[in-house]
Structure 1
Amino acid sequence: MEDQQNQEQAVASLEQRLAALQQQEQELQQAIEDLRNSQSRVFQEQITELQNTLGRLMQESLSELEHRKQALQESVSQLERRQERIQAEMRKNFAGASQDLAIRVQGFKDYMVGSLQDLVLAAEQLELVPPAATQKQPEPEEAPAKRSSVPEQGFPDQAKKIRQLLEQYRALPDYYGPSWQLRRTFEKVHEERVTNWFFTLAGRGAVKSMGSRLQNILVASAVISVLRVMHGNRLRVLILATLPERLGEWRRGLQDCLGIARADFGPDGGVVLFEDPDPMVQKADRLLADGDLPMLIFDEAEEQVSLNTLRFPLWLAFGLDAQQMTRMMY
């Protein structure tokens, strides 16, 4: 009887323990479910936060890229406007950097061509020496007089040749031509000045200034180039400008437009620069006496010119209009 009671108590104890274990199992399962739900919720929150962060970063990046795009577009617009200004200035000042570089590369070629031309001219002059020695004494005196004279009334004998050369300079510019040939862009407005000087002023007078010294040098260079074709190295160019910096501009401009070298400037060269009119007149008289042909050019800033300089067969000046005179005064 006592053993049966002990067994019943043991069974009751086991049942209680089983019930406790089942309760613990349920609690553990609930805890696991809660952990899973919590983990899923945290993971979803992290994904949402990450998506929001990525979206914000993308928006900021797009905004920054848009600002950079606008800045680049403004820079491109500025560069395009600057390019247009540079191209306009190059067309206006006839001094493109690429052309300058190409001309420097051709410097040695120009030197050789000029030297050969000088040799040819020297040979032609040597061929004239024997006939001159057999003639009577009065005839050599008449020859220099004819050589130093220039056709009047608009160069009628050379009009066709002059117009052909000017048309060639304008329509077919040769940026790599020989020395003393025009090498710059020659437009209609320049041609009008040169044509007026040859055919209306007959090589002796003032044309309207182009508004800048560089443009005036281009006009003068075209005149020199044409006269050089007609008279060869008999032509000697005398330039008057009372300030050294202006003479410097003339020297650089003529070198640029005609492809001549520094050796072509000087008392015995093709171009002589003067700051005072009296030495210029004396030089022109000596050239005429030697049978050469002086051409006098006056800078646009020379408002007063000595009458003694105007008696020579060829001279070119540049006159300022009222607006240009006002700019110079102020």
Structure 2
Amino acid sequence: MDIRRIWLDRDGVGKQQWSDFLMKADLIPDDQLDFTIGIYDQEKLIGTGSLFQNILKCIAIDSSYQNENLLSRIVQALRERLQEIGYHHYFLYTKPKTSKLFRSLGFTEITATTELVFMEQGFPDFEDYLTELKKHRTKTKDNAAIVMNANPFTKGHLYLVTEAAKTAETVYLFVLSEERSLFNAKTRFNLVKEGVSHLSNVVVLPTREYMVSSATFPSYFLKDQAKASIAQVQAVLDATLFKEKIASILSITTRFVGEEPFSEVTKIYNQAMKKTFGSQPNLVILPRKQIGEEVVSATKVRALMEQGNYTAIKPLVPPKTFEEIIKQKNK
């Protein structure tokens, strides 16, 4: 039995064999992968595993080879690859029934729902993130949270934060740390911090990897690939992690989100959070800010940037954001 790389983008036959193997194992083949390996018994595929950035995905073993310690071999090969490219901290999404196997390989559970278990290995880990949050904890007890990508930070975002700051003792404002946006994480974080600096009860924090985004969402083992289904499962995992592990640390009693008139997926995400939270924390959905007839959104700002319509952008964003947009234009 040998381990080989499967070049999914080059090897049509190998990709089909891999895809059929995953579907037989009740997993959905995922296109969002950087690296895939297979274990073969001569030419028969008997195990596989993949990576996307620092996330282990699409791991499956042929049931007739379950006692051959193949899972350990696959995970070790993926770990070695991660270390080669500089990752020493990685994540795994698995089904509840298989989480025990990964625990025996050194993975730690972060949170779990009826459908997913979110696990990690390496450092800095979730406990380190919670320690970081505790350093920013205030003595107030009636606190709110907002989670935003702010790509870029607009007057719509500012409106949401301002409204939350009127009612909560402290607002913990989490900015997504993921590097999959037009504006990088450091720039987005700084623009948010600058944009809310006049609000004395707002604390700006990074999400690190612990507030789930669509980029890292493990859609591969959902039978129904409809976006609504994906969004709902992701939201439940995200809401569970937030409710059980983060809200309690920071005495968060309310989470504010913007109303979503355009994206069905975000609307479902909001609804799933409300259901998962129950009465605590309370989910408050605020109408989007409008300037004239126009709803202010980062999507609109990015579209105007593509058109080069900077005159139309200026009233939609705070001054520092506009400065950054002009800086990007001149690069």
- TM-score by shorter chain over 0.5: no
Higher helix share goes to which structure? Answer: 1
Query: Shorter-normalised TM-score: what interval?
Result: under 0.3
**Richer in strand (by share):** 2
Q: TM-score, normalised by structure 1?
A: 0.21
